[in-house]
Amino acid sequence: MRVDLGNALDTVVSPGIQRDALDRLDERVADAHERIETGRENHDHGYESLNLPETTDTDEIQTAVESFADAKTVLTVGIGGSALGAATLAHGLESDVDAYFLDNVDPEHVSSLLDNISLSDTAVNVVSRSGTTAETLTNFLVVRDAMESADVDWTERTFVTTGEEGNLRNLANRHNLPALDVPDGVPGRFSVLSTVGLACAAIQGHDIGAVLSGARAEANRLSGSLFESPAYAYGTACYALDERGAGINAMMPYAESLETFAEWFAQLWAESLGKDGLGQTPVRALGATDQHSQLQLYRAGPRDKMVTFVRPTERDDCAIPETDLPGLEYLGGQSLGTLLDAEFEATEASLAESGQPSVRLEIDRVDEYGLGELLYCLEASCILAGELYSVETFTQPAVEWGKRAARGLLGDGDFDEADSVADKSTFVIE
Ligand SMILES: O=P(O)(O)OC[C@H]1O[C@H](O)[C@H](O)[C@@H](O)[C@@H]1O
């Protein structure tokens, strides 16, 4: 995988990074790399995520899902880091087995999904590291009830992925459900390369070993210099651009299949780096679609953002038929891929021409290997950026504040956070 920083340099854009600033930052990258490597060696919380390409046992995952070989659908019940990684792989790769995700408790959505899938042909994966997340457990109760109503033995169609303890682990033990462990030291948003992200892919028939091979290739490129490591180059560029005023990072893949990847990135970046008044705001965009909406702002709006382009250099293509329709002759005989590439090059150039920074990430293809590279690269970029910001990359106290407030409101104990809801000020206009 390749990272091109050409359109992030101050000779091209503003804000931009001076070439010698990168040299200075490289000394900090060397120190950060050492801390990261020490964290990996000691299996410290969070840093352990970067060991997953070596530690994840694909046989264990295949064994846990083997009784679902007949599934026509896989339904993942989880939220945040317990759903987005699996969803990124499912939406990135084609399969005959449909994948759905219940990662919200919108009653209309939940009911409509359950009404429209054949539960007797579905494998249900309930995923929660803590085993206590209210949205996940309530959704599971609703799914279980729907299975019972449809005369489906839910214990035959359900497996869980969870930590050593918690409600979900108890449920698995009580009903003898197949259970996969969430590895220690791996926060949800860094867990795509573990049991959490790969079980759904395994049921869909994807080559999860190839995902890990791609990740391993990126792991092998981590070094004490950003000039030798695409992951560190990207993490450093984001940090440096943010320091210079690009506080927004618009993730814009040029592949429909990577739309969910941008969602995964948003969680990774926001939850890991948004601390102590620091952190870039991740925004989701999709090329070429959002060229026709957000691009106006990206080119002509405030100089407070960078765009991250992700482009596969190879893809299956689709020919554009020859046409004699006046004005459209130039398109006939080309291909949709050629058009998409031209749109990409044009957008990248349009930002550079107006002085707005961007970074280009390239993988060869959106396949198992390419996704493994991309996901690992961005996790390592994020961890490196966290070191440069000096924030606690692997905690999420602000998210937990909201979780406690909600539990208090729902009567699951006394939580001070719930009192703040009553203190809310209002200024309503009708
Ligand atoms: O896996 P769970 O324990 O159910 O947690 C699911 C999600 O919950 C919280 O919102 C955390 O901030 C996320 O990082 C986590 O991925």
pLDDT in tens, 20-29: 999 999 999 9
List, for residues 116-170, the tens digit of each pLDDT value. 999 999 999 999 999 989 999 999 999 999 999 999 999 999 999 999 999 999 9
Q: Tokens 């493994």 identify what position? A: 372
Q: 30-34, 298-302, 378-382, 421-425 — which is least confidently predicted? A: 421-425
Task: Answer whether 166 contacts ligand 1 (Cβ < 6 A).
Answer: no
Tell how far the Cα of 271 is from the centroid of ligand 1, in angstroms.
10
Is residue 414 predicted with pLDDT exceeding 90?
no
Task: Answer whether 133 contacts ligand 1 (Cβ < 6 A).
Answer: yes
CB atoms within 10 A of CB 335: 14
pLDDT category at 50 given cuts 50, 70, 90 is very high
> Which residue's CA lies nearest to atom 2 of ligand 1?
128
List, for residues 176-231, the tens digit of each pLDDT value. 999 999 999 999 999 999 999 999 999 999 999 999 999 999 999 999 999 999 99
Tell how far the Cα of 272 is from the centroid of ligand 1, in angstroms.
12
Would you call 403 a catalytic residue per the annotation?
yes
Find the catalytic residue in 271, 348, 373, 379. Answer: 271
Complex-level ipTM: 0.97
Contact 231, 373 (CB under 8 A): no
Distance between CA atoms of 64 and 58, rounded to whole angstroms? 10
Is residue 419 predicted with pLDDT exceeding 90?
no
Q: Report the pLDDT value the prediction gives residue 422, as an integer from 0 to 100.
A: 82
Task: Answer whether 82 contacts ligand 1 (Cβ < 6 A).
Answer: yes
More confident residue, 423 or 5: 5
Which amino acid is present at 216? Answer: R
Tell how far the Cα of 82 is from the centroid of ligand 1, in angstroms.
6
Which amino acid is present at 271? Answer: E
Give mean pLDDT, residues 400-423: 87
Would you call 91 a catalytic residue per the annotation?
no
Would you call 271 a catalytic residue per the annotation?
yes
Helices 208-220 and 195-203 sit at what angle, rounded to 10 degrees? 140
pLDDT category at 424 given cuts 50, 70, 90 is confident
List, for residues 224-274, the tens digit of each pLDDT value. 999 999 999 999 999 999 999 999 999 999 999 999 999 999 999 999 999
HEC per residue, the chain: CEEECHHHECCCCCCCECHHHHHHHHHHHHHHHHHHHHHHHCCCCCHHHHHHHHHCCHHHHHHHHHHHCCCCEEEEECCHHHCHHHHHHHHHCCCCCEEEEECCCCHHHHHHHHHHCCHHHEEEEEEECCCCCHHHHHHHHHHHHHHHHCCCCHHHHEEEEECCCCHHHHHHHHHCCCEEECCCCCCHHHCCCCHHHHHHHHHCCCCHHHHHHHHHHHHHCCCCCCCCCHHHHHHHHHHHHHHCCCCEEEEEECCHHHHHHHHHHHHHHHHHHCCCCCCCEEEECCCCHHHHCCHHHHHHCCCCEEEEEEEECCCCCCECCCCCCCCCCCCCCCEHHHHHHHHHHHHHHHHHHCCCCEEEEEECCCCHHHHHHHHHHHHHHHHHHHHHHCCCCCCCHHHHHHHHHHHHHCCCCCCHHHHHHHCCCCCCCC
Is residue 340 predicted with pLDDT exceeding 90?
yes
List, for residues 360-391, the tens digit of each pLDDT value. 999 999 999 999 999 999 999 999 999 999 99
Find the catalytic residue in 108, 164, 292, 424. Answer: 292
Site to probe by mutation for ligand 1, drawn from 195, 399, 401 as the one with most ligand atoms within 8 Å of Cβ, is 399
Tell how far the Cα of 79 is from the centroid of ligand 1, in angstroms.
6
Task: Answer whether 191 contacts ligand 1 (Cβ < 6 A).
Answer: no
The whole-model pTM stands at 0.96
Distance between CA atoms of 177 and 363, rounded to whole angstroms? 38
Is residue 99 predicted with pLDDT exceeding 90?
yes
Percent above pLDDT 90 for the chain = 91
